[in-house]
Chain A
Amino acid sequence: MTDAQPAIRLTGLTKEFGSVTAVDHVDLEIAAGEFFSMLGPSGSGKTTVLRLIAGFEQPSGGTIELFGHDVTKRAPFDRDVNTVFQDYALFPHMNVLDNVAYGLRVRGIGRKERNERAMRALAAVRLEQMAARKPSQLSGGQRQRVALARATVVEPKVLLLDEPLGALDLKLREQMQVELKEIQRELGITFIFVTHDQEEALTLSDRIAVFNDGRIEQLGTPAELYERPGSRFVADFVGTSNLLDDERSLALLGRAGEHSVRPEKMIVGTAEQSGDGVRNAWGTVVEAIYLGSGIRLVVDLDAGTRVTVLEQNDRHRAHDDERGDRVVVSWHDADVVALATVTDAAA
Chain B
Amino acid sequence: MRLSRLSRTTLGLVTGLILLVVYVPLLVVLVNSFSTSTSLTWPPPGLTLEWWGRAFRSAGALEAVGTSVQVAIVSTIISLVLGTLISLALQRFEFFGREAISLLIILPIALPGIITGIALNNFFRTIMGVPLSIWTVVIAHATFCIVTVFNNVIARLRRLGTNLEEASADLGAGVWTTFRLVTFPQLRSALLAGGLLAFALSFDEIIVTTFTAGSGVTTLPIFILNNMFRPSQAPIVAVIAVVLVLVSILPIYIAQRLSGSEQRR
Residue of A nearest to B173 (CB): A106
A61-B21 Cα distance, complex, nearest whole Å: 67
Which residues of A have CB within 8 Å of B169?
55-56, 75-77
Option from A82, A87, A90, A92 in Cβ contact (under 8 Å) with B170: A82
Task: Specify which of B167, B174, B185 is in contact with A93 (CB 8 Å cutoff).
Answer: B185
Closest B residue to A80 using CB positions: B172
Known: A85-B163, A106-B177. A91 touches B182 (CB 8 A): yes
Q: When the two chains form their complex, are residues A76 and B164 in contact, meaning their CB atoms are under 8 A apart?
A: no
Asked if A231 is an interface residue, CB under 8 A from chain B, the answer is no
Flag whether B181 is at the interface (Cβ < 8 A). yes
Contact: B168 with A102, CB < 8 Å? Answer: yes
The 9 closest A-B pairs by CB, nearest first: A103-B171, A89-B167, A106-B173, A76-B169, A89-B163, A93-B185, A83-B170, A77-B172, A77-B169
Task: Say whether B186 faces chain A, with CB atoms less than 8 Å apart.
Answer: yes
User: In the bound complex, do residue A106 and residue B172 qualify as a contact, i.e. CB atoms below 8 Å apart?
Assistant: yes
A150, B163: Cβ atoms under 8 Å? no
Is A107 interfacial (CB 8 A cutoff)? yes
Interface hits, A66-90 → B, CB 8 Å: 75-77, 81-83, 85, 87, 89-90
**Chain A contacts of B168 at CB under 8 A?**
91, 102, 106
Which positions in B face A, CB cutoff 8 Å? 163-164, 166-174, 177, 181-182, 185-186
B172 near A103: Cβ-Cβ < 8 Å: yes
A95 to chain B, nearest CB (A): 13
- Bound-state Cα–Cα, A154 to B164, Å: 17
Q: Is A54 part of the binding interface, using a Cβ–Cβ cutoff of 8 Å?
A: yes
- Bound together, the chains give a CA A77 to CA B186 distance in angstroms of 20
Interface pairs (16), CB distance under 8 Å: A55-B169, A56-B170, A75-B174, A77-B174, A82-B171, A83-B166, A83-B170, A89-B164, A91-B168, A91-B182, A93-B185, A93-B186, A102-B171, A102-B181, A103-B171, A151-B170
What is the 8 Å Cβ interface bit string for chain A, positions 121-161, against chain B (1 contact, 0 not)? 00000000000000000000000000000110010000000
List 14 additional A-B contacts (Cβ < 8 Å) besides A56-B170, A77-B169, A107-B172. Answer: A55-B169, A56-B166, A56-B169, A75-B169, A76-B170, A77-B174, A83-B166, A83-B170, A85-B166, A89-B164, A91-B164, A91-B168, A103-B171, A106-B174
Give the docked Cα–Cα distance between A83 and B169 (Å).
Answer: 10
Set of chain B residues within 8 Å of A54, measured between Cβ atoms: 166, 170
- What's the least CB distance linking B179 to chain A, in Å? 12
Q: Which residues of A contact B171 (CB under 8 A)?
A: 77, 82, 102-103, 106, 150-151, 154
Q: Are B173 and A89 in contact (CB under 8 A)?
A: no
Most buried by B among A81, A90, A103: A103
**Chain B's nearest CB lies how many Å from the CB of A164?**
13
Residues of A contacting B173 in the complex (Cβ-Cβ under 8 angstroms): 77, 102, 106
Shortest CB distance A103–B (Å): 4
Interface residues on A, range: 20 to 34
Residues of B within 8 A of A93 (CB): 185-186
What are the interface flags for A91-109 relative to B under an 8 Å C-beta threshold, 1 for contact and 0 otherwise?
A: 1110000000011011100
Separation of A137 and B169 alpha carbons in the complex (Å): 25
- Contact among B167, B174, B182 for A83, CB-based, below 8 A: B167
Please indicate which of the listed interface residues B163, B170, B177 has the most CB atoms of chain A within 10 Å of its own CB.
B170
Distance in angstroms from B166 CB to nearest chain A CB is 5
Within the complex, what minimum Cβ distance (angstroms) separates B190 from chain A?
13
Measured between beta carbons, the chain A residues less than 8 angstroms from B163 are 85, 87, 89
Q: What's the minimum C-beta distance from A74 to chain B, rounded to whole angstroms?
A: 11
The complex places the Cα of A246 from the Cα of B182 at a distance, in Å, of 58
Query: Could you tell me the distance in whole angstroms from the C-beta of B9 to the nearest C-beta in chain A?
Result: 42
Q: How far is the CA of A188 from the CA of B246 in the complex (A)?
A: 64
Minimum CB distance partner of A103 in chain B: B171
Q: Is the CB of A77 within 8 A of B170?
A: yes
B177 to chain A, nearest CB (A): 5
User: In the complex the two chains form, what is the Cα distance from A110 to B225 in whole Å?
Assistant: 59
Bound complex: CA of A43 vs CA of B181, how far in Å? 33
User: Hey, which chain B residues are within 8 Å of A102, CB to CB?
Assistant: 168, 171, 173, 181
Residues of B within 8 A of A83 (CB): 166-167, 170
Which chain A residues lie closer than 8 Å to B186 at the CB level?
92-93
Could you tell me the distance between the alpha carbons of A92 and B188 in the complex, rounded to whole angstroms?
A: 13
Q: How far is the CA of A79 from the CA of B174 in the complex (A)?
A: 12
Residues of B within 8 A of A82 (CB): 170-171
- With a cutoff of 8 Å between Cβ atoms, the chain B residues found around residue A87 in the complex are 163
Contacts of B174 in A (CB 8 A): 75, 77, 106
Q: Which residues of B contact A77 (CB under 8 A)?
A: 169-174
Bound complex: CA A41 to CA B163 (Å): 22
Cα–Cα distance between A277 and B177 once the two chains are bound (Å): 67
Q: How far is the CB of B133 from chain A (nearest CB, A)?
A: 41
CB of A77, distance to nearest CB on chain B (Å): 5
Q: How far is the CA of A102 from the CA of B173 in the complex (A)?
A: 9
